[in-house]
Amino acid sequence: MLPVYMLFLLPVGSGIPAGVLLARANGLSWPVTAGLYFVSDVVLAVAFEPVLRLLQRWDGKFDSWRGAARS
């Protein structure tokens, strides 16, 4: 189960299909696979939400960057 969970934690698109295929090859039922995916989604949200909030807060402080990016 742990390798499937670790694949679901990859923040790229290939982790989900690979995790599903690995879960199927290891004989995990679909409810267990869905539960692992749900838990990994919650963990990723808890990990990345503060970073995104921080970037959102910093966005207004660097208005000069926007002008440079448009040039």
User: pLDDT tens, 7-47?
Assistant: 888 877 778 888 899 999 999 999 999 999 999 999 989 99
Q: Given the structure tokens 């970073």, which residue do they identify? A: 51
Task: Look at residue 63 and tell me whether its pLDDT is greater than 70.
Answer: no
Task: Look at residue 64 and tell me whether its pLDDT is greater than 70.
Answer: no
Picking from 68, 67, 11, 62, the residue whose alpha carbon sits closest to that of residue 40 is: 11
Contact 22, 41 (CB under 8 A): no
Q: How far apart are the C-alpha atoms of 63 and 54, rounded to whole Å?
A: 16
Contact 20, 3 (CB under 8 A): no
pLDDT greater at residue 71 or residue 16: 16
Measured in degrees and rounded to the nearest 5, phi and psi for residue 64 equal: -65, -25
